[in-house]
């Protein structure tokens, strides 16, 4: 018996030491240096692929902003976020400041992505990959560098241009923001480099300007054309084109304006030419406007956003099923938050079925609420529009599309297809043929929930 105990003790000790050795024995990938990465073709490609992880999830419009969030929609005129913690409220109230802006992390995460992108561009030539692979990877990297600069530019205007991977030994205090015009030129040039380098990629079935199915989501020439068009549109806008309200925004050393104080109409032509160039490139690649449901314009428009990687999508982030969006957008009667709420201005902006603007302005009026005077805006109805903003409709939609039932407010009747694809309202047909009610106990289908949405 004593021998058995001794043997057991020895075996236990041996197993314990083996376990320790297993824990301490790290795999080669855990100790890789940057030199090791770029000495291996597979690691080099994975290094580039990881940069894509910083693409923002802009479908999240409720939470604090940043490269993983999108606070800007709730911070503009199109939508109100009913979640009290949304950073969009800070934007709307003017409460954002050097302390609260850190919640957005746009600056921090964009420049993390830019550092890695520049590191890739500076080292990829030493990789054992083929010349064609390296050329294609560089094309992707130049697009990503333009894109992440654009994210910072969109949020902050004049930004620091990261044209190389900064070394801590550099004089980092001498780094300053570049002017808007310099930023635009830099980003556009990177888009052009991408277009030049990715001129011969083909999809699984031979499609041009498309990757094979396993690489769907990587940058293409079409994504670069689209980004370049968007950048030049920003540059032409009144925000950056002769904006004298920003005359005080200057370089602290030279005193030069960071936003041009002189209006230049030529910038609009550059933006228009870039948009045309993008459209022509898409047509040449066999892309076309989405028209899968030609007899149902509501569903046809709606499915542009639901049919993944259709012809109208030039570039997007692969995020799979995103249930958080459903929880935020679906009504309370579906046990969801119902916090992504279009403003009345946005609802009014949709045209009638005949293509006429229903509202042409607003008048200020003072009304009594709980005994107090409250100033409100009263819509001015366009007399040329087939539209009423009060009363209720007596008959249901007879088009066969079931756009509205009898008894709903007249403002929801006879509107364009995009309205019915985008705006929910009391009485509207919702998922599983339920009728939507804007209450805590509204109608819903049995067993329905946001996460079971097809």
CATH number, domain containing residue 47: 1.25.40.390
409 shares its domain with 439 = yes
73 shares its domain with 196 = yes
For the chain, the domain total comes to 3
Cβ-Cβ contacts under 8 Å for 104 (sequence gap 6 or more): 64, 65, 66, 69, 71, 87, 155
280 shares its domain with 352 = no
49 shares its domain with 11 = no
Lowest mean pLDDT segment, chosen from 180-184, 204-208, 335-339 = 335-339
Does the structure show a pLDDT above 60 at 20?
Answer: no
Q: How far apart are CA 138 and CA 87, in angstroms?
A: 36
Q: Span 91-103, mean pLDDT? A: 84
Q: Span 345-366, mean pLDDT? A: 96
Q: How far apart are CA 363 and CA 365, in angstroms?
A: 6
Lowest mean pLDDT segment, chosen from 39-43, 380-384, 426-430 = 426-430
Q: Which two tokens stand for residue 221?
A: 């020439």
User: For 256-268, what is each residue's pLDDT tens digit?
Assistant: 999 999 999 999 9
234 shares its domain with 349 = no
Q: Is residue 203 part of a domain?
A: yes
The phi and psi torsions of 99 (rounded to 5 degrees) equal -85, -50
- Looking at per-residue confidence, does 424 or 185 come out higher? 185
Does the structure show a pLDDT above 70 at 199?
Answer: yes
231, 292, 297, 299: which is closest to 267 by C-alpha? 231
Q: Is residue 297 part of a domain?
A: no
Q: Is residue 95 part of a domain?
A: yes
Q: Which two tokens stand for residue 45?
A: 């490609």
Instruction: Tell me the percentage of the chain whose pLDDT exceeds 90.
Output: 66
Lowest mean pLDDT segment, chosen from 3-12, 135-144, 163-172, 175-184 = 3-12
Using alpha carbons only, give the angle 416, 421, 423 rounded to the nearest 5 degrees.
Answer: 90
Q: How confident is the model at residue 321 (pLDDT cuts 50, 70, 90)?
A: confident
Q: How confident is the model at residue 103 (pLDDT cuts 50, 70, 90)?
A: confident
User: For 395-427, what is each residue's pLDDT tens digit?
Assistant: 999 998 899 999 999 999 999 999 999 998 988
Q: Which residues pair with 359 in a beta bridge?
A: 381
Q: What is the dihedral of CA 347, 353, 354, 358, to 10 degrees?
A: -20
Domain residue limits at 152: 34-287
24 shares its domain with 48 = no
Does the structure show a pLDDT above 50 at 453?
Answer: no
Hunting for tokens 């104080």 — which residue is that?
A: 261
203 shares its domain with 91 = yes
pLDDT for the residue 86: 86
Instruction: Give the total residue count for the chain.
Output: 454
Does the structure show a pLDDT above 50 at 13?
Answer: no
User: For 149-160, what is each residue's pLDDT tens digit?
Assistant: 999 999 899 999
138, 149, 150, 68: which is closest to 317 by C-alpha? 68
97 shares its domain with 244 = yes
Q: Is residue 47 part of a domain?
A: yes
Q: Span 120-132, mean pLDDT? A: 97
pLDDT for the residue 85: 84
Q: How far apart are CA 194 and CA 215, in angstroms?
A: 17
151 shares its domain with 165 = yes
pLDDT for the residue 25: 57
Q: How do 340-342 and 79-81 pair as beta strands?
A: antiparallel
Q: Is residue 313 part of a domain?
A: no
Q: How far apart are CA 224 and CA 25, in angstroms?
A: 44
Using alpha carbons only, give the angle 388, 389, 393 rounded to the nearest 5 degrees.
Answer: 60
pLDDT for the residue 175: 93
Taking every pair of C-alpha atoms in the chain, what is the biggest distance, in angstroms? 104
Three-state secondary-structure class, residue 196: helix
Q: Span 4-11, mean pLDDT? A: 43
138 shares its domain with 187 = yes
Q: Is residue 27 part of a domain?
A: yes
Contact 416, 351 (CB under 8 A): yes
330 shares its domain with 446 = yes
pTM: 0.88
165 shares its domain with 273 = yes
Mean residue pLDDT of the chain comes to: 88
Q: Is residue 141 part of a domain?
A: yes
SS (H, E, C) 384-420: CCCCCCCCECCCCCCCCCCCCCCCCEHHHCCECHHHH
Q: Is residue 317 part of a domain?
A: no
């Amino acid at each position: 018996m004593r021998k058995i105990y001794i043997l057991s003790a020895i075996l236990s000790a041996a197993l314990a030491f083996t376990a320790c050795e297993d824990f301490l024995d790290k795999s080669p990938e855990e100790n890789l240096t940057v030199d090791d990465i770029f000495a291996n073709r597979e690691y080099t490609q994975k290094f580039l692929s990881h940069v894509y992880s910083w693409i923002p999830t802009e479908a999240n419009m409720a939470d604090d902003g940043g490269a993983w969030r999108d606070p800007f929609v709730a911070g503009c005129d199109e939508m109100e976020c009913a979640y009290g913690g949304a950073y969009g409220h800070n934007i709307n109230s003017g409460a954002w400041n050097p302390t609260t802006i850190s919640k957005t992390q746009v600056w921090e995460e964009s420049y993390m992505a830019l550092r890695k992108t520049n590191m890739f561009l500076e080292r990829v030539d030493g990789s054992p990959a083929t010349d064609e692979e390296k050329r294609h990877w560089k094309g992707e990297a130049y697009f990503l560098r333009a894109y992440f600069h654009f994210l910072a530019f969109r949020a902050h205007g004049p930004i620091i241009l990261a044209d190389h991977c900064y070394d801590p030994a550099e004089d980092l205090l001498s780094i300053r923001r570049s002017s808007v015009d310099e930023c635009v030129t830099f980003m556009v040039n990177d888009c052009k480099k991408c277009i030049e380098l990715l001129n011969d990629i083909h999809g699984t079935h031979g499609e041009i300007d498309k990757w094979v199915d396993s690489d769907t989501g990587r940058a293409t020439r079409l994504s670069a054309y689209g980004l370049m068009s968007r950048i030049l549109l920003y540059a032409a806008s009144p925000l950056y084109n002769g904006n004298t309200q920003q005359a005080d925004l200057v370089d602290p050393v030279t005193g030069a304006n960071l936003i041009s104080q002189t209006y230049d109409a030529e910038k609009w032509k550059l933006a228009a030419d870039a948009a045309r160039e993008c459209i022509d490139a898409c047509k040449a690649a066999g892309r076309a406007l989405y028209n899968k449901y030609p007899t149902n314009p509501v569903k046809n428009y709606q499915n542009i956003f639901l049919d993944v990687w259709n012809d109208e999508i030039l570039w997007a982030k692969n995020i799979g099923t995103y249930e958080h969006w459903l929880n935020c957008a679906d009504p309370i009667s579906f046990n969801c938050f119902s916090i992504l709420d279009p403003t009345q201005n946005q609802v009014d902006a949709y045209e009638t079925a005949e293509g006429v603007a229903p509202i042409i302005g607003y008048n200020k009026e003072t009304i009594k609420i709980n005994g107090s005077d409250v100033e409100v805006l009263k819509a001015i109805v366009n007399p040329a529009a087939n539209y009423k903003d009060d009363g209720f409709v007596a008959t249901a939609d007879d088009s066969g599309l079931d756009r509205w039932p009898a008894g709903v407010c007249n403002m929801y009747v006879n509107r364009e297809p995009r309205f019915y694809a985008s705006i929910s309202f009391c009485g509207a047909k919702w998922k599983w043929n339920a009728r939507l009610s804007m209450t805590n106990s509204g109608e819903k289908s049995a067993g329905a929930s946001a996460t079971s949405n097809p």
